[in-house]
Structure 1
Amino acid sequence: MEGEFHMITWTPTVKDYNAKLRRLEQNADFAKNDDNVWFRGITDPWVPQYSMDDFNAHFQRDNGGAFAPTSEIMSKVKNRPNSEADQAAYRWRDRMGSEGIDLSHGVTTTKVYTDGDPKLPITVYTPQMSDPDEELGAIVAYHGGGWIGGNVLVNQNFCRYMAEQAHMRVFNVDFRLAPEYPAMAGFDDCYAALNWIVDNAGDLHVDLNTVAVYGDSAGGTTAAAVAYQDRKDGHNYVTHQFMAYPCLTLDHDVAEKIDWPASKYHFNSVTKERYDNDQLFVGKGMDTLRQVYVGSQNVDDPRISPIEIPDDIMAKMPQALIAIDEFDPLRPQGYLYAKNLAKAGVNSHSMCYYGMSHAFLDKFGIFAQGQHFADTAATWLHQGLTGQTK
């Protein structure tokens, strides 16, 4: 399946990419702000304020289109619901994703299956090591796609690189999607995968002293929800949660109170056009998600809307690292999650990537910001960042 899709048409030169990465690395360190969040702004000083990053702008003009292969678990679906909202969801699914570049070296890829119903495919990335049976910490990864799309092939290059840089085993979970499987099917899959990995830690050579959940976009929401359920059930398996641009709520009224008006983003014509294309989590897109994903479930359930995590459980949540980006409808929601965790006494780090737009990690290896975030996360998982205690 991996060889069937080749969507990349533009990439920066290696020289330009490495130069940008070095400039990103020169930003000031984390500092605690008035919200008790350890915050760090990441910008390329060569890019003017309130402007789209030059690599990002170039990619918008010259790219190969969506990278949306059918996932293994969804390939088994025979009958699809076909309401007007369902059809809108399928159109979103077909437009999602980008193909990135593999920056890892010596990482092996295998596949395992859970023993539940359904048997979930999990792709495992293992770093190069002298003893293949060495126990390593685990990262359980959930791909983005608004719970209606996405694929483990889209985030695979980020996962491979994390396996190498963090020297951990990364478990990339293939889970069921709406509208074929509305909530809570996808969440149940993701939570079951965490528990199956823990239960089979010996066979999987996992060191349970470090178990992180990770996700981007809707996958970030799922990572937060899995950490919540882990704490609610009293398991306390999850030691770290890290994510990029998560959605915090699917409640329309709550979102209206959190989200920014477009005027607050300082858009120019280029950034405004890109923002207008990121409408899955606002406006009509949000309505579609509520219909096809939330369905009859309670939208205020913390497993759907983590902003609703009660205070007593929020105080028990694992430490967090949350990346947000400048021209993103979910920017205020991601930061609010970091703020809520800090308010509850949880060690919370957040980074804002200026000049970037939603789903920039899909272009891993093309946008240096993705590698920068992965490098930061790897350090955070093992050595800690400013203000972090292990």
Structure 2
Amino acid sequence: MAQARRSFEKLQFAFRADAPAVASTVEVPIRRPDGSVLLARLYRPRSSPPAERLPVLVYFHGGGWCVGDVPSYDVLCRELANAAACAVLSVDYRLAPEHPFPAAVDDARLAFDWVAGHAETLGLDAARIALGGDSAGGNLAIVTALARREAGGLQPRFLLLIYPSTEIVSARASRARYAEGFFLDRESLRWFFERYLPQGNSEDWRASPMRASSLAGLPPMLLIGAEFDPLIDDCAAFAARVNAEGGAVDFVETAGMVHGFITLGKLFPEAGEALQRAAAALRRHLLETD
């Protein structure tokens, strides 16, 4: 597992874009009910006045619930903060296999609740919170939004989903079509799923949000997919179902791209284009007034 994490970090650090300056970064400790600490990092955009209460994107990194962390996603969060003119809270949720399902879900839900409850102290606007993430992180964003819908009260205003995992077990065609040779392959998916879900909880909506009894009542969302991704058909099916149940999804399939491209800006110019699309959607839903 240590080798897998080092390999992921090396890939991210080698091919991510250059890190832009932001107004500030602050390490934020979030206390869990058992007294342990969930760490997060808060980014304020370069353009923000110090006294302004900002909207915030709570962001969950990718990595199959097993690899990845706040440092490896530092550049993406800086870019999103500056381009969207909002704060970004990057969450260092617990990883499998040391902490299997539902530990990451519990951390994601705690992060949203904590930000909502401490927004004023942090200089944030609790009425303008978005949830976002890529891959496993996109899964956590969806699941957190579903949990907030069930709980009632304060809801996220927007979801930013980048090739999210929406269903653990899937027979859709892209799983076979792109099973080999397109960066994320069948064996990698199996490896991640087995470590995240050692008890085989694939039917649980907190692991497979596509299995939720209803997807109605979710906030508007942008879902960015990659053409050569084994998850692309799952993403399309999820978007179609949300729209069919009364939601609002802007689904974009990024031509020629593979799973993971958003953090590999030195390899793929499309990463910058997708980031600008994401930032525009965040500005539209968090900054603009009717």
**TM-score normalised according to structure 2 size:** 0.89
Contact 1:320–1:338 (8 Å) recurs in 2: no
Matched, 1:261 2:176: yes
Aligned residues of 1:102 and 1:160 also touching (Cα < 8 A): no
SS at match of 1:98: helix
Please list the CA deviations of residues 95-141 of structure 1 after superposition, one character each: whole Å capped at 9, or x if unmatched. 32422123534442221111223211111110134631310001000
**Greater relative contact order structure (CA < 8 Å, 6+ sep):** 1
Paired with 1:297 and 1:389, the residues of 2 have a C-alpha distance of 44
Structure-2 residue corresponding to 1:123 = 41
Q: For residues 337-348 of structure 1, what are the structure 2 equivalents within 5 Å?
A: 337-348=238-249
Match of 1:302 among 191, 205, 209: 205
CA gap 1:139/1:232 in 2 versus in 1, 3 angstroms: same
Contact map agreement 2:56 2:86 (CA 8 A) in 1: yes
5+ residue gaps, structure 2, are none
Would the alpha carbon gap of residues 226 and 368 (structure 1) be closer, same or farther in structure 2, given more than 3 Å must change? same
**Partner secondary structure for residue 261 of structure 1:** helix
Q: Distance in 2 between matches of 1:291 and 1:365?
A: 31
Contact 1:103 1:365 in 2 (8 A): no
Partner secondary structure for residue 378 of structure 1: helix
| Residue 154 (structure 1) aligned with residue 72 (structure 2) | yes
2:234 aligned with 1:333? yes
The answer to whether the Cα contact below 8 Å between 1:365 and 1:371 also exists between their aligned partners in 2 is no
Q: Does 1:104 align with 2:5?
A: no
Residues 1:184 and 1:106: Cα distance change in structure 2 (over 3 Å): closer
Aligned pairs, how many?
Answer: 282
C-alpha change, 1:370 and 1:285, in structure 2 (3 Å) is closer
Computing the radius of gyration from Cα coordinates, the structure with the larger value is 1
Q: Aligned residue for 2:191?
A: 288
Please state if 1:207 is matched with 2:122.
no
2:95 is the counterpart of 1:177: yes
Deviation of 1:93 after TM superposition, in Å, equals 3.4
2:223 is equivalent to residue 322 of structure 1: yes
CA deviation string 1:142-195 (max 9, x = no partner): 000001111212221111111111111100000111111111111111110111
Please say if residues 23 and 48 of structure 2, whose CA atoms lie closer than 8 Å, have aligned partners that are also in contact: no
Equivalent residue number for residue 134 of structure 1 = 52
Question: Alignment partner of 1:332: what SS?
Answer: helix
1:376 is displaced (CA, Å) by 1.4
Q: Which runs of 4+ in 1 moved over 6 A?
A: none
Cα contact 2:84–2:283 (8 A) shared by 1? yes
Map Cα deviations across residues 70-96 of structure 1 (whole Å, 9 max, x no partner). Answer: xxxxxxxxxxxxxxxxxxx55543432
Q: Secondary structure at the match of 2:143?
A: helix
Aligned 8 A contact 2:115 2:126 in 1: no
Contact 2:27 2:41 (C-alpha < 8 Å) held by counterparts: yes
Q: Which residue of 1 aligns with 2:160?
A: 242
How many angstroms apart in 1 are the aligned matches of 2:176 and 2:210? 20
SS of the aligned residue for 1:250 comes to coil
Higher strand content, 1 or 2: 2
Whole-angstrom CA distance in 2 between matches of 1:389 and 1:296: 46
**Residues in 1 aligned to 2:2 and 2:48: alpha-carbon distance in whole angstroms:** 45
Alignment partner for residue 375 of structure 1, among 265, 273, 276? Answer: 276
Equivalent residue in structure 2 for 1:274, among 176, 181, 184: 181
Partners of 2:46 and 2:174 in 1: CA distance: 43
Q: Secondary structure of 1:125's match?
A: strand
Partner SS for 2:132: strand
How far off its partner does 1:291 sit?
3.0
How far 1:296 moved relative to its partner?
Answer: 2.4
Deviations 1:295-318 (A, max 9, x none): 22632111100101222xx11001
Task: Name the CA distance, whole Å, in 2 between partners of 1:338 and 1:139.
Answer: 21
Once residues 279 and 234 of structure 2 are traced to their aligned partners in structure 1, the CA distance between those partners, rounded to angstroms, is 24
Q: Is the 8 A contact 2:60 2:134 kept in 1?
A: yes
Amino acid in structure 2 at the alignment position of 1:104: P
Matched with 2:261 is 360
Q: Cα deviations across residues 333-366 of structure 1 (Å, max 9, x unaligned)?
A: 1122211111111111011111111100121355
